[in-house]
Structure 1
Amino acid sequence: MGQDLTKASKATLQEQMQFAKLASTATILPEEYRNKPADVLVAVNYGASMGLSFADSLYRINVIKGKPSMSAELIASQVRIAGHQLLPKKEDLQRQSVTVTIIRCDMPDYPFTATRDRAWAQNMGLLGKDNYKKQLMTMLYWRALTAVAREACPEALYGAYTPDELQDIPDDVHAHVVADAEPVDGAASVEPSPSKEDCRRIAELMEQGGVSDAESARVAFHALTGRDITSTSELTMVEAEQLLSGPELVVSRTRQALGARHE
């Protein structure tokens, strides 16, 4: 059974449960997993879907606020394993700004770029956090990396957030709905949602790109997020943050998507 447990997919559910129960008592296990066999079980199976070993899963995947999260280092690794180029960060120490670029292996002529700077961190209310006080440039690098990876190759992230993204989300976040928008059953409104103002700004950008009705909105949202939604009320907070970090790109990609629909 020991050899079989190197990959969760090769073990029976009973074997996995036995392993999770035993592993959760280990003192060398990350503290968030100790005496939490259910979280251990979720993490190792989540990691197995990405080809990770048990050890990698338990040390590089955390469960925060009930959600599995990937470390920024793991996201960088997954991007490269998928065959995409992750270019070195470009720092501007004077502006305290970091830019990260990803070039997809199937879209080499269309680089994806994300920038995070002190002004962004201040607007997000992050500058008061210890990590940002002690290592601002490092935190900006990780946030730029995860932002561009979420846009360029979301399939490599398996829908996961990073621990700092989840910790930045308040516990009392409520869903916000833009004017006359009705949530869809099973939509992303169960996730932390963007503010009403952010929804309004995104809607304006999409209108600039040519969105005029529910169908054109669905086409545009699919191009922007990869999901079949029709309202900004169905966006997650992270998706909204990503869209607002590149307003020109939102307009141009919306135009491209709507233009392709009529070709």
Structure 2
Amino acid sequence: MTEMTTYQQPAAALDTQMQFAKAVTASGGSILPKAYQGNPGNALIAINLGSSMGLAPAESLYRIDVIQGTPTASAELVASNVRKAGHKLRVKVDEQAQSVTAEIIRADDPDYTYTVTRDMKWAKDMGLAGKDNYRKQPMTMLQWRAITAVARLAASEALYGVGYTSDEIREMPSPQQAQAVTADQFIPAQTQGQDELKAAIDETGEAPSEQQRKKMFAALRDIGLTERDDILEYVSNLTGRTVESSNDLTRAEVSTIIDSLEGDTPNA
């Protein structure tokens, strides 16, 4: 596995770092991104996050942005971090079909390929197709979305908690509207076939317990998986089959998912 090279920030006490952050955010502020102008706290967080990614302090303030209180990065930086970690990232663009597929082959699991596809049908389903960026540069937006989605799915440890672009954060519900991922959000409207599958799992005693389900959803949030599509892709890859609802999962599969999530969670 390729060793990641990181910028070595000189050892300094927190108060010294804060003094630097105060100095750069107070010096006119006009050349800094808006999130840092007059906000040394945001700057300090970005500098430390950037340091872990191998960025110098000034570069951190331009390559990491803060949107709605959340650090974000460009898709280019996300891709760079994935490759620095030694993983292979490939992007396939089909302009005729208006579709982009991003693939990651992990350095520690070269026999498996994580795949995420984003197309205009997906954008329409997500209510994004009518937005200005998607009308003017659809392939660029789909490429960014495919890259960040597959990176969160396959290499979350390489993102240092900064796995979303500023566009993605802006398109999410406001903090007042946002809710934690729950079983209800993960379960689509039931079809007859899904009802029968759930009944069969319940009858054989293979259904996961409520405690298991809650633990799984909490662990999903811990690694940044909050969108239903990303969650379904993640659990489908782990189980080796297409999962359309949490009701499809057996007790053993949920246990496997939890084990994998806890391994992916920072400081777990």
Pair in the same fold by TM > 0.5: yes
- List alignment gaps of at least 5 residues for structure 1: 1-5, 176-188, 219-227
Identify the residue that residue 36 of structure 1 maps to in structure 2.
39
Identify the residue that residue 208 of structure 2 maps to in structure 1.
213
Using the alignment, how far apart are the partners of 1:77 and 1:155 within structure 2?
A: 13
| Aligned residue identity for 2:15 | Q
Change (3 A) 1:247 1:21: closer
Identify the residue that residue 186 of structure 1 maps to in structure 2.
none
Identify the residue that residue 184 of structure 1 maps to in structure 2.
none
Match of 2:102, SS?
strand
Identify the residue that residue 49 of structure 1 maps to in structure 2.
52
Larger mean CA deviation between 229-238 and 20-29 belongs to: 229-238
Contact 2:75 2:165 in 1 (8 A): yes
Identify the residue that residue 4 of structure 2 maps to in structure 1.
none
CA positional deviation for 1:141: 0.4
Using the alignment, how far apart are the partners of 2:153 and 2:230 within structure 1?
A: 7
Contact 2:114 2:150 in 1 (8 A): yes
Using the alignment, how far apart are the partners of 1:107 and 1:233 within structure 2?
A: 22
Using the alignment, how far apart are the partners of 2:215 and 2:210 within structure 1?
A: 10
- List alignment gaps of at least 5 residues for structure 2: 1-6, 242-248, 257-268
Change (3 A) 1:113 1:216: farther
Identify the residue that residue 173 of structure 1 maps to in structure 2.
177
Identify the residue that residue 94 of structure 2 maps to in structure 1.
92
1:127-167 C-alpha deviation (Å, 9 max, x unpaired):
22221111110010010001111111110112222212211
Identify the residue that residue 181 of structure 1 maps to in structure 2.
none
Q: Which has the higher contact order (CA 8 A, sep 6+)?
A: 2
Match of 1:201, SS?
coil
Q: Residues 1-263 of structure 1: matches in 2 within 5 Å?
A: 7-8=8-9, 10-24=11-25, 25=27, 26-87=29-90, 89-160=91-162, 161-171=164-174, 172-175=176-179, 189=180, 193=181, 196=184, 198-201=185-188, 212-214=207-209, 217=212, 229-231=215-217, 235=221, 238-245=226-233, 248-249=236-237, 251-252=239-240, 258=253
Using the alignment, how far apart are the partners of 1:173 and 1:77 within structure 2?
A: 32
Contact 1:199 1:233 in 2 (8 A): no
1:93-129 C-alpha deviation (Å, 9 max, x unpaired):
2221100111101111101111000011111111222
* Identity rate, percent: 45
| Aligned residue identity for 2:61 | L
TM-score (norm 2): 0.72
Match of 1:229, SS?
helix
CA positional deviation for 1:7: 4.8
Change (3 A) 1:38 1:151: same
CA positional deviation for 1:34: 1.5
CA positional deviation for 1:174: 3.8
| Aligned residue identity for 2:153 | E
Contact 1:100 1:113 in 2 (8 A): yes
Contact 1:101 1:112 in 2 (8 A): yes
| Aligned residue identity for 2:34 | E
Change (3 A) 1:250 1:259: closer
CA positional deviation for 1:19: 0.8
Larger mean CA deviation between 230-239 and 144-153 belongs to: 230-239
TM-score (norm 1): 0.74
Using the alignment, how far apart are the partners of 1:202 and 1:107 within structure 2?
A: 35
Change (3 A) 1:194 1:90: farther
* RMSD, matched Cα: 3.5
Change (3 A) 1:105 1:231: closer
Change (3 A) 1:231 1:256: closer
Give the length in aligned residue pairs: 229
CA positional deviation for 1:8: 4.5
Contact 1:85 1:104 in 2 (8 A): yes
Contact 2:225 2:231 in 1 (8 A): no
Using the alignment, how far apart are the partners of 1:195 and 1:140 within structure 2?
A: 28
Change (3 A) 1:110 1:215: farther
